[in-house]
């Protein structure tokens, strides 16, 4: 179904907000949306990890590797690299690169976030003044050095599995991700685009007076292209934000901007850290033409660098757009901070996905998009999904294997562990601290750039003997989450019903537990 045929009558206006949100709490739920995008987020460190995991295991070898990488990146990594990206037809992109330093070998990324064979899209590789040979998928060599290379990138029809991770163009729009369009050797560049008549470009990369975009880190650069793109811009407490819209949507663009603004304000307050670069949120139709087997796949998202790309399934038929967008923003916008503004290495996905799910849920509660009942109901649904998966590895091991497995436990167990951590820290501190305080610590400047993500996060979360022991149990060791056993200490219990697990607040609570639960949003 085309976007324009969406029934705009199903969407409520501002005046109906109370009604829409109440219904949203009953029906739409938070998890259905948040969990759909397993595997949407990726840091550049993980990408290099895909290439180096088998080669480099020890930290000292990794340091040497990074040193060599920096050494060699200096070789071709200056701002003199100039790239022209042309869209000649919807299935093909032509790239012409003029590099500041000549080279005899060029490598293209072949795997990204579980999407394999990305480099197979590269064809017709030519280098100026030399013959070039394909040494392997994504690997090209020439006998003589050259500083000009050109090639085409074939664009297959996007699929549900790859659409949020790799470059695609469909109908009159597309998302270009330089990570899969440029050789790995190109570390900074200026880019120009040649597009069909009437198409424009939006990006968080700054555009110079000459019309060229300056890109410092191509692996994080995203360009939204298309016909009739619309843009709403604002500044959120000093942080520039653009929302780029493609397609027709039954919500007001200023409402989307307003909701994104509110979420950004929350996360600035949560972290105490002001994002340095302009953030861009792209909202476009999910460009999938084949039937989507799971109708619950209502959206896909990826937050890369400073860009959130949100692709919404027009057939999902959201009724409560403002609430739905807010719920999605509470998760995706947090990724602009965690992990994208943390310069940490390694696979700590259990934290930046699992704890992000939980913090997004708390934020949705704080913003009034959901109520305390829905907060508990969401955790109950997550618990049921968690119990449907065998849990034999630690969260750290699950994070390492996220792309080799379904990756669900990183989300499900990670979220439940965040919930238990929040309960534990509130109780241990007599209500003076919550999980939210850890985010301030993460951004307080005490973490070293390039530090191991797991070590750094554990040092922040496990700063007291009790919290250290908690992290050892649930993050470093493979202890199962048993809410039935743990929750009574916090005045709650799990009721197993035919409709699934329900988290309940106990009737007879002492003053301390009452206070703890009230701090979570419980109203007795």
Please, which residue, 246 or 359, has the CB nearer to Zn ion?
A: 359
Closest CB 38 distance from Zn ion, rounded Å: 8
Q: Is residue 267 exposed (0-12), middle (13-18) or buried (19+ Cβ within 10 Å)?
A: buried
Query: Are the C-beta atoms of residues 90 and 171 closer than 8 Å to each other?
Result: yes
Please, which residue, 212 or 331, has the CB nearer to Zn ion?
A: 331
Question: CB neighbours (10 Å) of residue 202?
Answer: 22
Closest CB 356 distance from Zn ion, rounded Å: 5
Q: Which residue is nearest to Zn ion (CB)?
A: 41
Give dist(CA 483, CA 353) in Å, integer: 20
Please, which residue, 152 or 326, has the CB nearer to Zn ion?
A: 326
Q: Which two tokens stand for residue 376?
A: 């508990």
Please, which residue, 401 or 504, has the CB nearer to Zn ion?
A: 401
Closest CB 36 distance from Zn ion, rounded Å: 10
Nearest to 324 by CA among 21, 3, 19: 21
- Length of the chain, in residues: 524
Mind giving me the DSSP string for 278-301? PEEEEEEE----SPPS-TT--EEE
Q: Phi and psi of 318, rounded to 5°?
A: -60, 140
Please, which residue, 203 or 330, has the CB nearer to Zn ion?
A: 330
Please, which residue, 353 or 422, has the CB nearer to Zn ion?
A: 353
Give dist(CA 186, CA 30) in Å, integer: 40
Any idea what the Cα angle at residue 58 is, between residues 53 and 60, rounded to 5°? 120
Query: Are the C-beta atoms of residues 274 and 239 closer than 8 Å to each other?
Result: yes
Please, which residue, 164 or 313, has the CB nearer to Zn ion?
A: 164
Closest CB 35 distance from Zn ion, rounded Å: 9
Nearest to 259 by CA among 170, 321, 180: 321
Please, which residue, 30 or 87, has the CB nearer to Zn ion?
A: 30
Closest CB 327 distance from Zn ion, rounded Å: 13
Closest CB 300 distance from Zn ion, rounded Å: 11
Nearest to 325 by CA among 307, 306, 299, 305: 299
Please, which residue, 353 or 374, has the CB nearer to Zn ion?
A: 353
Instruction: Give the chain's radius of gyration (CA, Å).
Output: 24
Closest CB 481 distance from Zn ion, rounded Å: 20
Closest CB 464 distance from Zn ion, rounded Å: 28
Give dist(CA 109, CA 51) in Å, integer: 9
Please, which residue, 29 or 491, has the CB nearer to Zn ion?
A: 29
Closest CB 335 distance from Zn ion, rounded Å: 6
Give dist(CA 409, CA 388) in Å, integer: 10
Query: Are the C-beta atoms of residues 142 and 104 closer than 8 Å to each other?
Result: yes
Using CB under 5 A, list all residues that contact Zn ion.
41, 353
Please, which residue, 378 or 467, has the CB nearer to Zn ion?
A: 378
Closest CB 338 distance from Zn ion, rounded Å: 9
Give dist(CA 86, CA 243) in Å, integer: 24
Closest CB 207 distance from Zn ion, rounded Å: 28
3-state secondary structure of 493: strand
Q: If you ran DSSP here, which 8-state letter would residue 348 be given?
A: -
3 state SS for 95-124: EEEEEEEEEEEEECCCEECCEECHHHHEEE
Give dist(CA 98, CA 370) in Å, integer: 52
């Amino acid at each position: 179904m085309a976007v324009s045929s969406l029934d705009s009558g199903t969407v409520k206006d501002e005046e109906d907000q109370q009604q829409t949100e109440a219904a949203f709490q009953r029906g739409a739920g938070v998890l259905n949306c948040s969990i759909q995008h397993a595997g949407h987020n990726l840091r550049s460190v993980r990408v290099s990890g895909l290439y180096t995991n088998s080669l480099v295991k020890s930290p000292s070898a990794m340091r040497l590797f990074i040193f060599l990488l920096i050494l060699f990146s200096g070789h071709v990594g200056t701002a003199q690299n100039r790239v022209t990206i042309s869209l000649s037809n919807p299935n093909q992109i032509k790239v012409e690169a003029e590099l500041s330093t000549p080279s005899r070998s060029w490598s293209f990324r072949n795997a990204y976030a579980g999407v394999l064979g990305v480099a197979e899209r590269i064809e017709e590789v030519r280098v100026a003044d030399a013959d070039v040979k394909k040494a392997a998928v994504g690997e090209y060599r020439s006998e003589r050095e050259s500083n000009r290379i050109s090639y085409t990138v074939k664009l297959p029809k996007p699929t549900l599995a790859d659409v949020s991770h790799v470059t695609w163009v469909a109908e009159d729009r597309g998302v270009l991700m330089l990570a899969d369009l440029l050789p790995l050797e190109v570390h900074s560049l200026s880019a120009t685009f040649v597009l069909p008549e009437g198409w424009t470009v939006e990006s968080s990369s700054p555009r110079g007076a000459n019309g060229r975009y300056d890109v410092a880190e191509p692996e994080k650069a995203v360009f939204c292209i298309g016909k009739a793109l619309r843009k709403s811009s604002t500044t959120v407490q000093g942080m520039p934000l653009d929302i780029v819209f493609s397609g027709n949507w039954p919500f007001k663009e200023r409402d989307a901007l307003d909701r994104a603004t509110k979420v950004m304000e929350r996360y600035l307050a949560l972290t105490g850290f002001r994002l340095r670069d302009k953030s861009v949120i792209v909202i476009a139709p999910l460009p999938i033409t084949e039937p989507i087997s799971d109708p619950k796949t209502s959206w896909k998202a990826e937050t890369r660098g400073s860009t959130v790309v949100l692709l919404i399934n027009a057939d999902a038929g959201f009724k409560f757009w403002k609430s739905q967008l807010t719920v999605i923003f509470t998760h995706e916008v947090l990724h602009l901070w965690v992990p994208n503004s943390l310069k940490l290495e390694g696979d700590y996905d259990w934290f930046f996905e699992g704890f992000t799910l939980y913090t997004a849920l708390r934020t949705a509660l704080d913003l009034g998009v959901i109520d305390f009942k829905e907060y508990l109901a969401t955790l109950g649904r997550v618990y049921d999904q968690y119990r449907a998966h065998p849990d034999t590895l630690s969260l750290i091991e699950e994070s390492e294997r996220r792309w080799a497995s379904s990756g669900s436990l990183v989300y499900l167990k990670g979220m439940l562990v965040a919930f238990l951590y929040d309960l534990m820290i509130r109780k241990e501190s007599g209500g003076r601290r919550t999980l939210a305080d850890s985010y301030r610590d993460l951004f307080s400047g005490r973490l070293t750039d390039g530090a191991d993500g797991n070590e750094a996060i554990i040092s922040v979360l496990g700063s007291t003997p009790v919290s250290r022991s908690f992290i050892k149990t649930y993050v470093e060791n493979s202890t199962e989450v048993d809410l039935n056993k743990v929750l009574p200490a916090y005045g709650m219990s799990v009721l197993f019903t035919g409709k699934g697990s329900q988290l309940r607040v106990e009737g007879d609570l002492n003053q301390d537990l009452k206070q703890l639960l009230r701090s979570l949003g419980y109203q007795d």
